[in-house]
Amino acid sequence: MTPPKLPNVIVFFTDQQRWDCSGLHGNPLDLMPNFDRMARLGTHVARSFTCQPVCGPARSCLQTGQYATKTGCYRNNIPLATDAVTLAKCFGKAGYRTAYIGKWHLADDAIHGPVREEQRGGYAEWLAGNIPDLDAEPYGLKLYDNDGVEQKFPGYRVDAQTDAAIRFLGRQKEGKPFFLFNSYLEPHHHNRHDYYPAPEGYEERYQGKWLPPDLATIGGNAHKQIGGYYGMVKRIDEALGRMLDALKSLGMEENTIVLFTSDHGCHFKTRNDEYKRSCHDSSIRVPTAITGPGFRGGGHVDELVSLVDLPPTLLDAAGLAIPESMQGRSILPLLRGEKTSWPGEVFVQISESQVGRAIRTRRWKYAVTAPGLDGWENSASDSYVETHLYDLKTDPYELNNLVSSKDQESVRGELRGRLLARMEEAGEERAEILTKPE
């Protein structure tokens, strides 16, 4: 009997992309038609959230299926442990050819220079940089190959990286499955100059156009920067379309799983003095869709899904064992209509700007922070104070903080208990949460 053919797997990973860039989430500007089509024909994970709204920590979670305090990468610039059980190691052990292209952000190497082989998470083929957003211009992508040799690519960064990914697809041989992690810098802001460098002509298309209600109301710097941001999102979606076209032309479409997701969102300095690192949906909610074997016609997943749920989902879809170390769970039972318990909330850890924790249910957002603790030096605390409560049913863009409302004392009490339980479930030490002082 011929064994079943293992599916290829591609992760199409963006950086700092809000969920409401998608037409499926109400954006009227047609920024993501390829994503929207992929989600309609495949599986739309409609309520998808990061578990850590910071670049490096979120990436450690997606590589391992663990929360950031478990991986040890609770903030940026902490390398992923060399013995971590990663997606690359799991797929590689099963006979997959594994490859990584783009931004890594999980090594302790200097910004300028290659990532050492032992810090590449087990990926066999490598064309990446640790933090290329600090080392490359929008029209000057620079990455390092397997031998640590610098490679420069012409064109706009998104296009150059997509070209490299398509070249990888073209080199694949029949009969050997591959796992490709394609990690873009876009639509992250340009760190050194604090702007969103869209390709030529794209910013003008969207400047002054539709804004989500939180950005329209609070402002931040969105009015100035949204055109560039949307232009970057548009080009990313065009890159997704090119990747899907390449799979079709190479005869790989039917046997390739493609996951589109992002590490965190973007609040445009409306919630603190930068772009993320907050409990708000603008920071933690991301666009997510999956297509390919097991996901075609999967419809609309309405359960709340965390970034840590995606690694076990990919392994499960490929028919591979899910390591016991993974703290997330596969969404495939939901697609098959099986009776399964699913958490009623997602759990979020926040670092650097604070030592924070949050849960997000269908209706409520509840967040706490450790007063006086440096979020760069401390990963957790034994004591927190309530800081945010939002009723998402009546206030979906979180404009009215109810944390001091006497009318919501019972709600806060329930959510407090649920958050403490999730913290312990994630492996944190027992803590206390103090109520918001009147």
Q: Give the model's pLDDT for residue 437.
A: 56
Class of domain 8-335: alpha beta
What global pTM score does this model have?
0.96
CB 323, CB 88: distance < 8 Å:
no
Q: Give the model's pLDDT for residue 131.
A: 84
Of the candidates 425, 328, 417, the residue with the CA atom closest to the CA atom of residue 364: 417
The one-letter amino acid code at 129 reads G
Give CA–CA dist 33/51, Å, rounded: 26
Domain spanning 354-434: CATH 3.90.550.10:
no
Give CA–CA dist 198/215, Å, rounded: 19
Q: Give the model's pLDDT for residue 193.
A: 82
Give CA–CA dist 72/56, Å, rounded: 11
Which regions in the chain score pLDDT beneath 70?
A: 1-4, 109-111, 436-438
Would you give the end-to-end CA distance of the chain in angstroms?
70
Domain pair 8-335 / 354-434, same fold:
no
The pLDDT mean for the chain works out to 94
Residue 421, C-beta contacts closer than 8 angstroms, at least 6 positions apart: none
Q: Give the model's pLDDT for residue 216.
A: 94
Q: Give the model's pLDDT for residue 112.
A: 72
Q: Give the model's pLDDT for residue 103.
A: 94
Give CA–CA dist 23/38, Å, rounded: 12
Q: Give the model's pLDDT for residue 1.
A: 45
E runs forming strands in 135-177: 141-144, 150-153
Task: Output b/e per residue, 60-81; b: 16+ Cβ within 10 A.
Answer: bbbbbbbbbbbbebbbbebbbb
Q: Give the model's pLDDT for residue 397.
A: 95
Q: Give the model's pLDDT for residue 295.
A: 95
Delimit the domains of the chain by residue range: 8-335, 354-434
Q: Give the model's pLDDT for residue 219.
A: 81
| 241 burial via Cβ count (<10 Å: 0-12, 13-18, 19+) | middle
Q: Give the model's pLDDT for residue 388.
A: 97
Maximum CA extent, the chain: 70
